[in-house]
Structure 1
Amino acid sequence: MKIGIIGCGNMASSIACSITKTQKHQMFCYDVDETKAEKFNELYGVTKLMSENEVVLNCDIIIIAVKPKDIFNVLRKIKDVVGDKIIVSIAAGISVERIKDVVGNKKIVRVMPNININVEEGILGVCFSESVLQEEKDKVTELFKSMGAVIVVDEKFMDAITALFGSGPAFVAHFVESYIDAAVKLGFSKQESYDLVLKLFYGTVVNMKNNMLTTYQVKDMVTSPGGTTIEGLVEFERRALKGAIIDGIIKAYERSKSIL
């Protein structure tokens, strides 16, 4: 397949990196910032083109990887040359219907990836417009499977995907940072804290996955009557930590629904 990428920012870079590592497709790119497009060419061997329309005309699948505020400008430029090409949008909060309002009833795919696709451990929510054929759905799904776990959903779930998994790496990093700061406060160096806390989070997840442990089972295995763990857990409950985390995710979900 011939894959086109319009917009050469961080997420587009992760997508291009993953495709070049795991698949054999011709890739083309364009960015209004020529320096970014040139860097894409150098890093991933992607052919740099001179306009959005050139990308559409040369490719089977076009990934629009610009910010939500910029996507409609791109769509207006390409609407007359889209034809039966597959348009993939990764813009958070922009519905298929709003894309159709600009380009018409074309083959449109919404994808919500997260940054972990750059290590093939991403989570990608995908939904399709009704005009995308099953064979084409399979091609798009296969393309993104190389980047992590793909979940095909009804579009009504895309805002939840955005909040939970698009924003998720930032939330997880925030939790990890808090743990690192606690380790530093208790006397460990910054580097020791960083290394050991990452190992703690990674090891816990691997243990849960490999041994099919629930969160409750892990807590029960570690928590002793009158011990240190229950003291910490009780304090977390007293501070309503779980509720704050849930509320933060809901806020992200509500923001996704209200973008533009």
Structure 2
Amino acid sequence: MNVGFIGTGTMGSLLIEAFIASGALSPSQIAVSNRTFPKAKALADRYLGMRAEYTNAGAAYGCDILFLCVKPLEFKKVVDDLKPVLKPNQMIVSITSPVLISHLEGELKCKVAKVIPSITNYVWSGASLCIYGKSMQEEDKARLEALLTHISEPLCIDEDYTRIVSDLSSCGPAFISFLLEQFVEAAVEETGIGRQEAQRVASAMLLGTGLLLTEGGLTPAEIQERVAVPGGITAKALNLLRRETNGVFNQLIRTTHAKFREDLAKVSVAFIGEEVNGQ
């Protein structure tokens, strides 16, 4: 299987490196292109056999699966570059949430899917959120998911919930890391503990909590119940957290959805000349 990547920025490079490190792909199976060719070449130079192409059409040539890892407003130009060269048996995979399956199916005569990756895929963990177009057959889905399984747990989702599942899976690591950072900084300021030591302890705690929620089968509420003895220290602190964070995550979700709708409107104008509703 040959796989192409258009866009070698943060997420494109992360996916490439994860696929290679996990053994899912060898460098010789990968072709890359980027708006700035030296960036694509710099990545290819790190992996013997990887092919850096000057054009998007060149990266698509001979690929079974082609990942589009570009910003929303760059999509229309990339799609226009690919239209003359893509074959019906090739698979396009967008990793950009405001670009709808319908946008791509309206322009390209090939198989179309969308995958929302996560930074956690870099350590072969977390989910890959999969959305499939009408032309994707069961064997096509199985082939893509077999690739993604090397670095994640592929989860099929409804496109109507793209934004919220992206918040939880893709943006979530940044949100949780921010909260952990605030926890560590407060510990340093209030007690004088070394920042490195506090971060090491907190990071180990976060890893263990994740395992309790997955392999341990506990819910967030059950973890709180088991840790917080009534009238104890944890219970008192939890009451403070509930009071002070009331409504914060509702505001967070409204903020990400508002930005998503803004981007979706711009992408829709670029593709079909009019805005569409999205979630």
**Normalised by the size of structure 1, how large is the TM-score?**
0.92
**Normalised by the size of structure 2, how large is the TM-score?**
0.86
Partner residue of 2:143 out of 139, 145, 150: 139
Q: Which residue of 2 aligns with 1:47?
A: 51
Instruction: Confirm or deny: 8 A CA contact 2:111 2:136 kept in the other structure.
Output: yes
- 1:227 aligns to 2:228 (yes or no): no
Distance in 1 between residues matched to 2:116 and 2:68, nearest whole Å: 12
Instruction: Confirm or deny: 8 A CA contact 2:6 2:69 kept in the other structure.
Output: yes
Partner residue of 1:203 out of 200, 203, 208: 208
Distance in 1 between residues matched to 2:108 and 2:206, nearest whole Å: 46
User: Structure 2 counterpart of 1:127, which letter?
Assistant: I
User: Structure 2 counterpart of 1:193, which letter?
Assistant: A
User: Helix, strand or coil: the match of 2:136?
Assistant: coil
What are the ranges of 5 or more consecutive residues in structure 1 without an aligned counterpart? none
Instruction: Confirm or deny: 8 A CA contact 2:101 2:112 kept in the other structure.
Output: yes
Distance in 1 between residues matched to 2:170 and 2:25, nearest whole Å: 26
User: Helix, strand or coil: the match of 1:50?
Assistant: coil
Say if 1:156 and 1:118 are closer, same or farther in 2 by CA, change over 3 A. Answer: same
Give the deviation of 1:224 after TM superposition: 2.4
Give the deviation of 1:108 after TM superposition: 0.8
Q: Which residue of 1 aligns with 2:33?
A: 30
Q: Which deviations, in whole Å up to 9, do the C-alpha atoms of 1:44-76 show, x marking residues without a partner?
A: 342112211111122111111111111111001
Instruction: Confirm or deny: 8 A CA contact 1:71 1:91 kept in the other structure.
Output: no
Q: Which deviations, in whole Å up to 9, do the C-alpha atoms of 1:208-245 show, x marking residues without a partner?
A: 44432222222222222332112211111221x15312
Distance in 2 between residues matched to 1:250 and 1:141, nearest whole Å: 31
Instruction: Confirm or deny: 8 A CA contact 2:110 2:135 kept in the other structure.
Output: yes
- Give aligned-pair identity as a percent: 24
Instruction: Confirm or deny: 8 A CA contact 2:5 2:67 kept in the other structure.
Output: yes
User: Structure 2 counterpart of 1:237, which letter?
Assistant: R
Give the deviation of 1:179 after TM superposition: 0.9
Superposition map of 1:106-255 within 5 A: 106-186=110-190, 187-239=192-244, 241-255=245-259
User: Helix, strand or coil: the match of 1:58?
Assistant: coil
User: Structure 2 counterpart of 1:218, which letter?
Assistant: I
User: Helix, strand or coil: the match of 1:200?
Assistant: helix
Q: Which deviations, in whole Å up to 9, do the C-alpha atoms of 1:175-200 show, x marking residues without a partner?
A: 11111111112221111121111112
Instruction: Confirm or deny: 8 A CA contact 1:163 1:253 kept in the other structure.
Output: no
Give the deviation of 1:173 after TM superposition: 1.0
Where in structure 1 do 4 or more consecutive aligned residues deviate above 6 Å? none
Instruction: Confirm or deny: 8 A CA contact 1:162 1:256 kept in the other structure.
Output: no
What are the ranges of 5 or more consecutive residues in structure 2 without an aligned counterpart? 267-279
User: Structure 2 counterpart of 1:89, which letter?
Assistant: S
Distance in 2 between residues matched to 1:211 and 1:50, nearest whole Å: 48
Distance in 2 between residues matched to 1:19 and 1:219, nearest whole Å: 36
Distance in 1 between residues matched to 2:77 and 2:207, nearest whole Å: 42
Distance in 2 between residues matched to 1:90 and 1:44, nearest whole Å: 23
Say if 1:141 and 1:257 are closer, same or farther in 2 by CA, change over 3 A. Answer: farther
User: Structure 2 counterpart of 1:30, which letter?
Assistant: S
- 1:60 aligns to 2:61 (yes or no): no
Distance in 2 between residues matched to 1:208 and 1:100, nearest whole Å: 38
Q: Which residue of 1 aligns with 2:14?
A: 14
Distance in 2 between residues matched to 1:92 and 1:136, nearest whole Å: 21
Distance in 2 between residues matched to 1:132 and 1:2, nearest whole Å: 18
Instruction: Confirm or deny: 8 A CA contact 2:79 2:108 kept in the other structure.
Output: no
Distance in 1 between residues matched to 2:145 and 2:215, nearest whole Å: 26
Distance in 2 between residues matched to 1:50 and 1:205, nearest whole Å: 42
**What is the root-mean-square deviation in Å for CA atoms of aligned residues?**
1.7
Q: Which residue of 1 aligns with 2:3?
A: 3
User: Helix, strand or coil: the match of 2:61?
Assistant: helix
